[in-house]
Structure 1
Amino acid sequence: MDAPDLSKLKIDRNATPSGGNPQGRRRRWGRIAIAILIVLGVTLAIATRLRGPVSVETVTVATAYPSQNYTLLNATGYVVAQRKAALSSKATGRLEWLGVLEGSRVKKDELVARLENRDVAAALGQASANVQVARANLEQGQAELRDAEQAYRRSQELLQQKFISMATRDTALARYNKAQAAIAGLRAAIAAAEASRQAAQVALDQTMIRAPFDGVVLTKNANVGDNITPFSSATDSKGAVVTIADMDTLEVEADVSESNLSKISVGQAAEIQLDAFPDLRLAGVVSRMVPTVDRSKATLLVKVRFIERDARILPDMSAKVAFLSHPVPPQDEKPVTAVPGGAVVQRDGRKVVFAVKDDKARQTSVSTGRKIGELLEVGGIKAGDKVVLNPGDKLKDGSAVAPAKK
């Protein structure tokens, strides 16, 4: 085999190297950069998916009342009516008419119910007739007295003229004295008859059950046809027909531990919260402290009177009482939004919270105010929102989050 002739090889210095076009090189590097970015984006997305949402502890934005800052003591109790009465009859009989239902409002001396009273009404009529008879007898006695007086005077004149004897004049005098004595007896008979009529009237009134004060009917314990007795120990009988309460005298009775009595005094300001209406706060004042300690519970009964009233308050409602160091000023009567202090952090020189929406942490700027107990007053978010408690520096706006398992 012949050896190659190397003498024919040479370098052509005028030839253009392949790919030497500058514009082509730039395009090639651009494609490479785009490919690298795509690979990085896909890698980051895959890493994010593999990593999953950030586990965080969340709290709910609450409403707080500034009065918590000067609350000395909290206690629980019940709403009661200071003036309350179970209406019954002193008489015994069958309930004939009932004019109220539960919730009915009654005025003082208004007729609420009536027992059968025909026999008592008849006795009253008879007593009234006896009064009329006694008065008629008095008129008759007075007529006889006038006649006896005239006869006596004539006998006196005739005796002076000696037309009659002394015995006849004495007879006229005796008749006159008897007529005078009869008048006194007839007047006493009238008084007795009027007393009997008054007793019959009282007996009739006892069959009428009336309201002793303005109030509201709380319970209805009997129906028409029931037997009513002053004491309901009899079989198939009722004692009280209805129970009424004066709603203007409602107050809260709360048990306070004897170890905390130094924090309470009569006239002290208080704030009342009803379990039925959690958003309702009413001003109150300590009206009385019962001077007896319950030995079994080591508590004292404290009565708190409502200063502010609400038509929805009913007896026996559960209530919470906050005993305050001073009355609530007008600017502190309305609630404010608040969160635990750990939910507020600094980001880029601003105070923010991370609100959780659609499983994402949304950075929200807020303004802060005073501390209310363990909470911090904030603005810029609303009550009921979920926020992250103690968010870390790695938590960013838009980060996927999931509630931490407790």
Structure 2
Amino acid sequence: MKKIILSLMLLAVTIQAQDIYATFSVEADQSANLAFTSSGTVNSVSVDVATEVKKDEVLAQLQNSDLKAALNIATTALKYAKKDYDRQLKVKKLVDASRLDSFAFKYESAKAQVAYQQALLDKTILKAPFDGVIFEKIVEVGDVVSGQAIRTILRLQSLHKRKLILEFDQKYWKDIKVGQVFNYSIDGDNKKYSGKISKIYPFADSGNRKIRAEVEAKDFVVGLFGEGYIIVPDEK
């Protein structure tokens, strides 16, 4: 009889859920402060606040006509250095090794000079590092920027992808796991949302005794706040 009762008790096991309160703020999944690493005068800005951009799209340029001219000169020098080197290769059996090496050196130096001038030119062209939307513009045509005192001129964030940065009491550090459901609402929206924890930060804030976690989301305005409950299954 005791065995039967024990079996019935085991069959009666149910899974209860513990709700753990958490607040959160909305952040972009990706964001970047964009700046020139070269000095000069801003010649063009092709974006504004709320402009959607694609990765590698040109956002702004410094005046760079001098660098373009220098690159053209270096490219021309490379063209003729290669011709000279190719001629020497055709008759290398008739010339001494040191003469051939001198032409090879000129050719390699010309290639390096083209790469160097291209790198200088690239520093005057600001491109988008990822697909996104401009959410702050701090530059106008004619502004002077310095590579020695770098300052942000554009701010870029992912277009749709967001992450909720949750904060919950550190006493639950053993209970919260990646994959657990987070039911929440956000300020100014009566709709109820649900997501799953994708990341848990490996430290507790010593100031407020909170631990952070992340939940993936989409299309919320960055900077909004909200609250909800993490559902922690509890087997008994």
Partner of 1:283: 194
- Distance (Å, rounded) in 1 between the aligned partners of 2:109 and 2:121: 18
Higher strand proportion: 2
SS at match of 1:247: coil
- Distance (Å, rounded) in 1 between the aligned partners of 2:148 and 2:135: 20
Partner of residue 78 from structure 1, selected from 8, 25, 31: 25
Partner of residue 135 from structure 2, selected from 205, 218, 232: 218
SS at match of 2:84: helix
Partner of residue 229 from structure 2, selected from 318, 322, 347: 322
Q: 2:176·2:232 contact (CA, 8 Å) conserved in 1?
A: no
The structure that has the greater radius of gyration is: 1
Give the aligned residue type for 1:208: I
Partner of residue 205 from structure 2, selected from 269, 285, 294: 294
Partner of 2:178: 266
Q: 1:72·1:263 contact (CA, 8 Å) conserved in 2?
A: no
Please report how far the alpha carbon of residue 85 of structure 1 lies from its aligned counterpart in structure 2 after TM superposition: 0.8
Q: 1:276·1:318 contact (CA, 8 Å) conserved in 2?
A: no
- Distance (Å, rounded) in 2 between the aligned partners of 1:113 and 1:78: 31
Q: Give matches, 1:331-370, under 5 Å.
A: none
SS at match of 1:283: strand
Q: 1:73·1:263 contact (CA, 8 Å) conserved in 2?
A: no
Give the aligned residue type for 1:99: S
Q: 2:44·2:62 contact (CA, 8 Å) conserved in 1?
A: yes
- Distance (Å, rounded) in 2 between the aligned partners of 1:85 and 1:231: 20
Partner of 2:165: 253
Q: 2:28·2:157 contact (CA, 8 Å) conserved in 1?
A: yes
- Distance (Å, rounded) in 1 between the aligned partners of 2:152 and 2:27: 19
Please report how far the alpha carbon of residue 283 of structure 1 lies from its aligned counterpart in structure 2 after TM superposition: 1.8
| Change beyond 3 A, Cα 1:223–1:293 | same
| 241-250 vs 133-142, which moves further | 133-142
Partner of 2:7: none
SS at match of 1:203: helix
Partner of residue 197 from structure 1, selected from 91, 106, 114: 114
| Change beyond 3 A, Cα 1:266–1:231 | farther
Q: Give matches, 1:5-404, under 5 Å.
A: 72-139=19-86, 141=88, 145=91, 176-178=94-96, 180-230=97-147, 232=149, 239-277=151-189, 279-306=190-217, 309=218, 311=219, 313-325=220-232
Q: 1:91·1:207 contact (CA, 8 Å) conserved in 2?
A: yes
Please report how far the alpha carbon of residue 294 of structure 1 lies from its aligned counterpart in structure 2 after TM superposition: 1.0
Per-residue deviation, residues 44-74 of structure 1 (Å, max 9, x unmatched): xxxxxxxxxxxxxxxxxxxxxxxxx967022
- Distance (Å, rounded) in 2 between the aligned partners of 1:243 and 1:125: 33
Gaps of 5+ in 1: 1-68, 150-175, 233-237, 327-406
Per-residue deviation, residues 264-296 of structure 1 (Å, max 9, x unmatched): 21110012311032x122221111111111111
Q: 2:78·2:110 contact (CA, 8 Å) conserved in 1?
A: yes
SS at match of 2:76: helix
Poorly superposed stretches of 4+, deviation over 6 Å: none
Q: 1:74·1:323 contact (CA, 8 Å) conserved in 2?
A: yes
SS at match of 2:107: helix
Q: 1:141·1:186 contact (CA, 8 Å) conserved in 2?
A: yes
Q: 1:88·1:230 contact (CA, 8 Å) conserved in 2?
A: no
Aligned residues: 218
- Measured on the aligned residues, the alpha-carbon RMSD in Å equals 2.3
- Distance (Å, rounded) in 1 between the aligned partners of 2:228 and 2:122: 44
Gaps of 5+ in 2: 1-15
- Distance (Å, rounded) in 2 between the aligned partners of 1:250 and 1:229: 33
Per-residue deviation, residues 78-131 of structure 1 (Å, max 9, x unmatched): 101232111112211111111111111111111111111112112111211211
